[in-house]
Amino acid sequence: MSDVVVTTAELDRRTIRRSDFVSCNQAFIDCRTPGSDRKENYAMIGPGVSQSSGQHVNLRLPHGFQIGAAAMPNGVTNNLHLHYTAEVFICTEGEYLLRWGADGDEGELTLKAGDVASVPTWIFRGFTNTGPDDGWMFTVLGMDDTGGIIWGPSVLREAEGHGLYLTADNKLIDTVAGDEVPADTELTEPMAQEYIDRLRSYSPEQMNRRVAASDELVWSDRPFLDSTLPGGGARLSCVIGYGMTEDLHQEPRIHNPHGHNAAWLRAEPGQGVSWHRQHETQALIVKDGLWEVTLNRTDPVSVRLGSRDILSVPEGAWRTLRNVGESEGDVLIVNGGDGRVRLEWDEEVVKAAADAGLGVDHNGYVAPYVLLPRSARR
């Protein structure tokens, strides 16, 4: 892999601060529906499934996944809709009630701070803020082109009464704001009952298996080659896919393909992950703590990230990640692709690990150095 050198300007472009987030309150067709008219939609990496031409997107660079967020006051609802690609909810603050089914009555569960839920494709879902007004829900969507969404039939009918229509190519027409419905434009029709009847059903027990609750996370204390080395020491909990773990015994909560994988990284002050790089795209979403990310082994550039800050790390760039705060912190790491992420460690890390009796086997897992064949020793 050739070295990728990240300039200060490129690092700035890929750093998305909490203060950089720009909300859109007309992103969807239910923006005037009573009880749903105070939603705020955010698109940080990719446009997501927004149906508004005015949606601000912080970074349009393709990653193989997209990151956005939903915010709404207590009691406000995001109405029933379905996705063609993966939709993952990361509740970082507050409390949300998730429900699903064509009429929203198949089941419901509560998401609290630190919980991650992956909702299956091709089922209707909606959610309500049942916590404080400043609750926050990040979303990770599968693929660079999500295909948009399908709204529940009742949502489309109610929106029409407020002057809102949706074209067949997923564009919002607002007649109250002065838009006209062109005579030759095909509008989205409510899903026919025969297709609704074919949709999958999920029991609360089945859906609960797709939730990584914060108080049920399974952590590896030694997920990486550098876990026992100075500068290492981070812990990892695999949420979606095996991702970047090098712990042979670690398994994810959710296994099915999403187009990306996701894991919580946790570190005490001074701990983190030593110099390494990977082929896959990567985004870091800070839940809490203060983190410093440094890129490039030569001519290094650094950035510090706080709560809700996001960083897109280029493929092939050397990087380190360190908790520089005063307390334990968590970061959600999202990597592109459905396969395992094979880390390439800096030679100094490899040598230090070997001196400590550790190496990486041919399958990409940490193992006793003395038991590795010579071809795996450096």
Last residue of a domain, one of 187, 212, 237: 212
Edge-to-edge strands of the sheet including 125-129?
Answer: 107-112, 95-100, 125-129, 77-83, 149-151
Last residue of a domain, one of 183, 212, 241: 212
Tokens representing 315 are: 């493929």
Q: What is the pLDDT of residues 211-240, one digit of tens each?
A: 999 999 999 999 999 999 999 999 999 999
Q: Among 175-184, 291-300, 332-341, where is mean pLDDT lowest?
A: 175-184
Contact partners, residue 96, CB within 8 Å, separation at least 6: 89, 110, 111, 127, 128, 129, 130, 131, 135, 137
Q: What is the pLDDT of residues 85-143, one digit of tens each?
A: 999 999 999 999 999 999 999 999 999 999 999 999 999 999 999 999 999 999 999 99
Q: Are β-strands 310-313 and 282-288 bridged in parallel, bridged antiparallel, or unpaired? A: antiparallel
Express as a percent the part of the chain with pLDDT over 90: 82
Average pLDDT over residues 39-55: 90
pLDDT at 159: 84
**What are the C-alpha distances in Å from 158 to residues 30, 154, 196?**
8, 6, 18
Contact partners, residue 251, CB within 8 Å, separation at least 6: 218, 238, 242
Q: Residue 146 is part of a domain; what is its CATH number?
A: 2.60.120.10
For residues 56 and 203, state if they share a domain: yes
Q: Are β-strands 344-345 and 329-336 bridged in parallel, bridged antiparallel, or unpaired? A: unpaired
Where helices occur in the chain by DSSP H, the ranges are 8-14, 153-160, 193-196, 204-208, 347-355
Amino acid (one-letter) located at 376: A
For residues 201 and 319, state if they share a domain: no
For residues 101 and 163, state if they share a domain: yes
Last residue of a domain, one of 212, 228, 251: 212
For residues 66 and 48, state if they share a domain: yes
Q: What is the pLDDT of residues 56-89, one digit of tens each?
A: 999 999 999 999 999 999 999 999 999 999 999 9
For residues 59 and 155, state if they share a domain: yes
Domain count, the chain: 2
Candidates 235, 221, 245; CA nearest to 343 is: 245
Tell whether 126 is covered by a domain. yes
Tokens representing 39 are: 């939603």
Contact 280, 244 (CB under 8 A): no
Q: Over 80: is that where the pLDDT of 376 sits?
A: no
Tell whether 28 is covered by a domain. yes
**Partners of 262 in beta bridges:** 240, 334
Q: Over 80: is that where the pLDDT of 26 sits?
A: no
Contact 88, 166 (CB under 8 A): no
For residues 206 and 241, state if they share a domain: no
Domain extent for 229: 217-370
Tell whether 7 is covered by a domain. no
**What are the C-alpha distances in Å from 145 to residues 42, 53, 84, 130, 189?**
17, 16, 10, 31, 22
For residues 180 and 222, state if they share a domain: no
Exposed / middle / buried, residue 375 (Cβ in 10 Å: 0-12, 13-18, 19+)? exposed
For residues 259 and 134, state if they share a domain: no
For residues 131 and 267, state if they share a domain: no
